[in-house]
Amino acid sequence: MSHSGAGNVPIGRAEGPCQMDRPRRKVKIEKAFGEGKIVTAVLDHEDLVRKLAQPDDSEVASLDAWWRANNYLTIGQIYLQGNPLLREPLRNEHIKPRLLGHWGTSPGLSFIYAHVSRLIKTTGQQAIYLAGPGHGGPALVAAGYLEGTYSEVYPNVGLDEAGMLRLFRQFSSPGGIPSHVSVTTPGSIHEGGELGYVLVHAFGAVMDNPDLLSIAVVGDGEAETGPLEGSWKGISFINPEHDGAVLPILHLNGAKIAGPTVLSRKDPEEVRKLLEGHGYEIIEVGGDDVPGMHYRFAAALAEAWGKIRAIQTAARSGQWDGTRPQWPLIVLRTPKGWTGPEKIDGITVTGTWRSHQVPLSGVKGNSDHLTELENWLRSYRPEELFDATGAPVELVRALAPEGDLRMSASPHANGGLLTRDLDLPDFRGYAVEVKRPAQGRAESTRRLGEFMRDIYTRNPDRFRLFCPDETNSNRLGAVFEVSDRAFMETVTGEDVKISRSGRVMEVLSEHNCHGWLEGYNLTGRHGMFATYEAFAMVSASQTIQHGKWLQEASHLPWRAKVPSLNILLTSTAWRNDHNGFSHQGPGLIQNVLTQRGDVARVYLPPDANTLLSVADHCFRSRSYINLIVIDKQPQLQWLDMDQAIEHCTKGAGIWEWAGTDDGSSDPDIVLACAGDVVTMETVAAARILMEKLPQLKVRVVNVVDLMTLPRPKDHPHGMSETMFRELFTDHVDVVFSFHGYPGAIHQLVHGRPDADRFRVRGFIEQGTTTTPFDMTVRNRASRYHLVMDAINNAKRLPSGASELKAWCEAQLARHETYVVEHLEDMPEVRDWSLEDWAER
């Protein structure tokens, strides 16, 4: 057995994608499981499980040493700015001025980490570690440090005394690292600050990743959140043939910040029922005695791993009956702050919420506390754990697996290294034929569905669509020609396109869909989250947190770029009058706008061909949040494919055919638009002006890429000052019809020449019982308002303008009456097109 695991297989700064050394791993596992020799394999497997379940003395010594070393380093990070190895008595000046960090959850996290490391080393299992209680950051940082990975990616934090001091000082410090398991933590794909997503990330990571085991530690605080409770059901969608496995470890340490947790105080029988109800087989282990807990947890982990491998082996050798496996789940009960000071100033700390953050506070200047801290640190016997240089001794290092098998070094957790480009068909092959603008209607997203159907076919192991039960509703159903919905629960004869082999992910939970895709992306695979526009706000905080992750990752050279998170919003506000206000909310745009230009992209393609062009671009991109907004209903088509590509490449452009602006001089008014329905209204308004007030020079500008609007210094897509003037002039009023809330455009054009001249008409919250606004969901006759707006703001008015305004008022009144009587828009609005349009 080689003990050189730590430090000799660099994962950092890789040039281009690297492939995991799959054959090697496979050989390793095959030693145990043997290809085509199922019976032998099961025997081997049982032997292995038995060995795992019973660690020998040297293994326990190594486990315990590693764990002590981790705990020591954890406490060091929280408290010390000097004297890292306690070579001298602890003094005030060794203590940080501000004590930050979370001790309570850390010893549990490192205890589990140690045991999983032994599992990996024994079996060759590929595994990643997701720490739900992300504020146990120091424990995971210490783990990466002990495995050598930390020094590989941050060479200034070496495996010696100076490096250890840097490790301590950087923690929770200005210019250093955050207190959470985060992007900066090697081996992490999960930031545990906003609680609730550890299982969704873990499940996403193992989809189409058959060799991977996600160890997902669920804190009992986190277990109280809605998203976490809603994510246990991941196993109802995981196929043991082509997916890997998640091993959830529910860590009940009893308390959160300031009190007990619900699950830790329920009757354990209820907890068991709850988790069995979710479909798991429960393995319980608990206590605080050492080494007893090492033996018991090793046995529990062995049992869990044995079950997982048995399920997978059976499924992959054709011995699965197709029912949903009862995957194992470990319930681990250890005291919060385990191994820390039991009482402080006479008050019980360990096992209570008081150990949540910094249990021994006010150390500087309190000699009792200083002594107590020193005793606590020395209780781990650092002199046995680190050598004279400060490097971990062989006994500690012996626990770590080698190279990429170290969880802190797993390429799965730096998924850009494993990312392979999608094999994309030519998106132009799905084009809607458009001979002239606005002559025919089509469901734009249907073409995207066909595009994705063929992406599924060409990329059977690295592309998935995630959608809350709306794939068909969103007109993306073509994907069902080649794949079913994934479902591991009972399927009946009445069901359609749903099976255990399906790879289209439908679950009525935006949290699950979004989080699964994040896990899938961060482990190097591609996908799309398609959802109703209004309900994208349900998972908006995930969008924002993922954007922060990507942005932070962009500063770390060792983090390879991952596939972008693509979000398609359909069933938009403008077509949800019948569903009422709950279905009307273009708010996600507002939130993506707060992200930095490094990551945020917002596209509003007005028709099928622009949608295809945008989608192709998004599927090829890396490490962005790509937000695409377009409705699913039949809609007018504007551009043929060549025009669409050109338009999308520029991001915004003048639609000359729609206006009366001959380019010879500035127009009298600019009618701009971004978004499908508002584009129709804008072109219709321009058409009315063309017909009824032809002397007015109207320019129509359409914006596909919203991020062309800000200045280049504010966003990399921001169009140049010159182009901005070419489109919008620098003094002509712009009536800007926007899909979302008007404030979005106000903030985007801030700083552009005379930004005040932008009169934005957008979605405004309204009661369904009133329609006092100029552009409303309930009233699709907004074109008449836009005509009046144009007249009210034009630089120069030809005669006939006031008559046209009066006509518009009359049309609006007619429409209002008509819809109440006929329950639909009046025909000239409903069926409007440019059928009669001919090239001028």
* Footprint of a second copy on 182-241 (CB under 8 A): 182, 184, 191-196, 221-222, 224-233, 236
Nearer Cβ to a second copy (192/437) = 192
- Closest by CA to 446, choosing from 432, 466, 467, 425, is 432
Nearer Cβ to a second copy (53/755) = 755
Sites for a second copy among residues 505-524 (CB under 8 A): 506-512
The DSSP-derived string for 214-231 is EEEEEETTGGGSHHHHTT
What is d(CA 806, CA 797) in angstroms, rounded to the nearest whole number?
Answer: 15
What is d(CA 773, CA 804) in angstroms, rounded to the nearest whole number?
Answer: 20
Sites for a second copy among residues 103-162 (CB under 8 A): 134-135
Angstrom CA distances, 323 to 38, 318, 480, 770, stand at 20, 13, 22, 53
Q: Binder to a second copy among 554, 633, 643, 793 (CB under 8 A)?
A: 554
Sites for a second copy among residues 296-315 (CB under 8 A): none
Q: Which stretch binds a second copy (CB under 8 A): 435-443, 522-530, 716-724, 740-748?
A: 740-748
Taking the CA of residue 222 as centre, how many other CA atoms within 13 Å lie in the half-sphere pointing to its CB?
A: 32
CB of 183 to a second copy, least distance (A): 8
Nearer Cβ to a second copy (171/619) = 171
* Count of Cβ atoms closer than 10 Å to residue 349 Cβ: 22
Nearer Cβ to a second copy (319/323) = 323
What is d(CA 824, CA 829) in angstroms, rounded to the nearest whole number?
Answer: 10
Do 505 and 516 contact (CB within 8 A), yes or no? Answer: yes
Total residues belonging to the chain: 840
Q: Which stretch binds a second copy (CB under 8 A): 64-72, 609-617, 668-676, 823-831?
A: 823-831
What is d(CA 104, CA 110) in angstroms, rounded to the nearest whole number?
Answer: 11
Q: Binder to a second copy among 100, 314, 395, 797 (CB under 8 A)?
A: 100
SS3 at position 808 = helix
**For helices 22-33 and 38-53, angle between their N-to-C axes, nearest 10 degrees:** 90
CB of 471 to a second copy, least distance (A): 7
Nearer Cβ to a second copy (552/726) = 552
Q: Binder to a second copy among 138, 390, 416, 587 (CB under 8 A)?
A: 587
Question: What does the block give as tokens for 449?
Answer: 């569905």
Helix (H) or strand (E) holding 625: strand 625-629
Q: Binder to a second copy among 36, 97, 318, 365 (CB under 8 A)?
A: 97
Q: Which stretch binds a second copy (CB under 8 A): 90-98, 310-318, 423-431, 433-441?
A: 90-98
Sites for a second copy among residues 776-805 (CB under 8 A): 778-779
What is d(CA 108, CA 105) in angstroms, rounded to the nearest whole number?
Answer: 6
What is d(CA 810, CA 784) in angstroms, rounded to the nearest whole number?
Answer: 9
Sites for a second copy among residues 486-505 (CB under 8 A): 487, 489-492, 494-496, 498
Nearer Cβ to a second copy (489/642) = 489
Q: Which stretch binds a second copy (CB under 8 A): 437-445, 448-456, 656-664, 737-745?
A: 737-745
x-marked contacts with a second copy along 237-266 as a string, rule CB under 8 A? -------------------xxxxxxx--xx
Sites for a second copy among residues 742-771 (CB under 8 A): 742-744, 746-748, 750-751, 754-756, 764-771
**Residue 647, amino acid:** H
CB of 697 to a second copy, least distance (A): 25
Sites for a second copy among residues 335-364 (CB under 8 A): 348, 351-352
Q: Which stretch binds a second copy (CB under 8 A): 51-59, 373-381, 579-587, 690-698?
A: 579-587
Number of residues engaging a second copy in binding (CB under 8 A): 143
Q: Binder to a second copy among 3, 22, 381, 555 (CB under 8 A)?
A: 555
Nearer Cβ to a second copy (384/469) = 469
CB of 597 to a second copy, least distance (A): 10
x-marked contacts with a second copy along 373-412 as a string, rule CB under 8 A? ----------------------------------------
The burial class, CB within 10 Å (0-12 / 13-18 / 19+), for 691 is exposed
Helices (H), 594-640: 608-620
CB of 698 to a second copy, least distance (A): 23
CB of 51 to a second copy, least distance (A): 33
Nearer Cβ to a second copy (434/534) = 534
Sites for a second copy among residues 451-480 (CB under 8 A): 469-473
What is d(CA 362, CA 369) in angstroms, rounded to the nearest whole number?
Answer: 7
Coarse DSSP helix, strand, coil percentages of the chain, rounded to the nearest 5 percent: 45, 15, 45
CB of 258 to a second copy, least distance (A): 5
CB of 33 to a second copy, least distance (A): 30
- Asked if 414 touches a second copy (CB under 8 A), the answer is no
Instruction: Name the β-bridge partners of 566.
Output: 528, 626
Sites for a second copy among residues 588-607 (CB under 8 A): 590-591, 593-596
Q: Which stretch binds a second copy (CB under 8 A): 62-70, 418-426, 571-579, 729-737?
A: 571-579
CB of 567 to a second copy, least distance (A): 15
CB of 241 to a second copy, least distance (A): 20
Residue with tokens 């799965």: 412
What is d(CA 223, CA 753) in angstroms, rounded to the nearest whole number?
Answer: 51
Sites for a second copy among residues 268-287 (CB under 8 A): 270-279
Q: Binder to a second copy among 446, 462, 548, 647 (CB under 8 A)?
A: 548
Phi-psi region of 101 (alpha: psi -120 to 50; beta: other; left: phi over 0): left
SS3 at position 456 = helix
Question: What does the block give as tokens for 821?
Answer: 């009587």
Strand intervals (E) in 243-348: 245-252, 281-286, 328-333, 343-344, 347-348
Nearer Cβ to a second copy (227/449) = 227
Question: What does the block give as tokens for 292?
Answer: 């007893």
Q: Binder to a second copy among 803, 824, 831, 835 (CB under 8 A)?
A: 824
What is d(CA 452, CA 510) in angstroms, rounded to the nearest whole number?
Answer: 20
What is d(CA 631, CA 604) in angstroms, rounded to the nearest whole number?
Answer: 10
CB of 538 to a second copy, least distance (A): 5
CB of 557 to a second copy, least distance (A): 10
**Residue 700, amino acid:** V
CB of 52 to a second copy, least distance (A): 29
Q: Binder to a second copy among 39, 56, 98, 838 (CB under 8 A)?
A: 98
> Do β-strands 698-703 and 498-499 pair in parallel, antiparallel, or remain unpaired?
unpaired
Q: What is the 3-state secondary structure (H, E, C) of 468-525?
A: CCCCCCCCCHHHHHCCCEECCCCCCCCCCCEECCCCEEECCCHHHHHHHHHHHHHCCC
CB of 167 to a second copy, least distance (A): 14
